[in-house]
Amino acid sequence: MFVFNWMTSTPVCVNTQDTLLKAEESMKTHQVNQILVQDAGKLVGIFSDRDLRDAKTSLVYMSSFQGKTLKDLMESAPVVSFMTKDPITLYPTDTLEDALSIFNTHRFNGLPVVDEDARPLGILTKTDLLRAFEGVLGINANTSRLEVLVADKTSDTIRVLEAVKRLGIEVVSLLFEMVRKEPPQLVLLLRLATINPLPVREALEAEGFEILDIRKHWLDLEAFD
């Protein structure tokens, strides 16, 4: 789960001496919402659609008393004046989990990926990250899902997986969720590559595991509203 597997490589870049107009055209042609700004091959900033909107707002204001059109001003304004300078960057070897934390604490929609010499290698956008977790969780694989109540993450999971293994069924993904804190209630969500989860359910129940009854669960949820 590393950034290099999921980033958008060959990022769209402009140079420090490029104008706002050039930056806008680049974004349009490549249909991206963020571009990187580089100086002599090194990353110096990131310029997003949000920056563009803010830039245009202030230029429109200036144009009203300078007697120039917005386009004139965009043709002369350097992109460096409006970009986000020294943005938080990722290395390709950073983990997806780290990227997730950064997105969670800042309001960026994309993070530049650079090498050790600050040369731009790619961008990891929020969309890339969602796509990555969708893939990692096996959401789009053809699976059956089972929610098993477990008392602990290790020994119970081993028992569950051994039962699945005996039946020759492939596990596509495995997640834990603490569904309740007091008293603690832990759920193991299993995605299995089969149309028929029945043998697994029976084997686990025979071992004393409780499996969430989806029919009943849904009725309980409806009783909420």
Partner 1 sequence: MDPKRFGFLIDPIYDAHETEEEHPECARRIRAIQAGLDSHRFGPMFKRFQAGSADMDAIQLVHSKEYIQEFRSACQSGLSYFHSYDNCISEGSFEAACHAVGGVLGHLEAVMAEEIDSGFCAIRPPGHHAERNKAMGFCYFNNVAIAARYLKSRYSVEKVLIVDFDVHHGNGTQHIFEEEPSVFYFSVHEHPSFLFPGTGRRSEVGIGAGKGFTLNVPMPPSTGDDRVLPAFDYALEQITEVFKADFVLVSAGFDAYEHDPLAHLNFTEKAYEHFGRQIGAYARAFSKGRVISVLEGGYFLPKLGDLCMAYIEGLVHTL
Alpha-carbon span 184 to 12, nearest angstrom: 48
Which residues are registered as beta bridge partners of 43? 38
According to the binding rule CB under 8 A, does residue 179 interact with partner 1? Answer: no
Nearer to partner 1, 39 or 210 (CB): 210
Interacting residue with partner 1 among 3, 14, 169, 204 (CB under 8 A): 169
Q: Does 141 bind partner 1 (CB under 8 A)?
A: yes
Q: How many residues make contact with partner 1 (CB under 8 A)?
A: 23
Residue 217 interacts with partner 1 (CB under 8 A): yes or no: yes
Closer residue to partner 1 (CB): 60 or 198: 198
Minimum Å gap between C-beta 184 and partner 1 is 25
Give the Cβ contact number of residue 86 at 10 Å: 11
Angle, alpha carbons 174-179-180 (nearest 5°)? 145
| Shortest distance (Å) from residue 196 CB to partner 1 | 6
Residue 135 engages partner 1 in binding (rule: CB under 8 A): no
Residue 68 CB neighbours (<10 A):
15
State the Cα–Cα distance between residues 113 and 111, nearest whole angstrom: 6
Q: Check residue 176 for interaction with partner 1 (CB under 8 A).
A: no
Q: Which residue has the tokens 């200036």?
A: 62
Q: In this complex, which beta carbon is closest to partner 1, that of residue 54 or of residue 213?
A: 213
C-beta of 169: minimal distance to partner 1 in Å? 6
List of residues contacting partner 1 (CB under 8 A): 139-145, 168-170, 193-196, 198-199, 214-219, 222
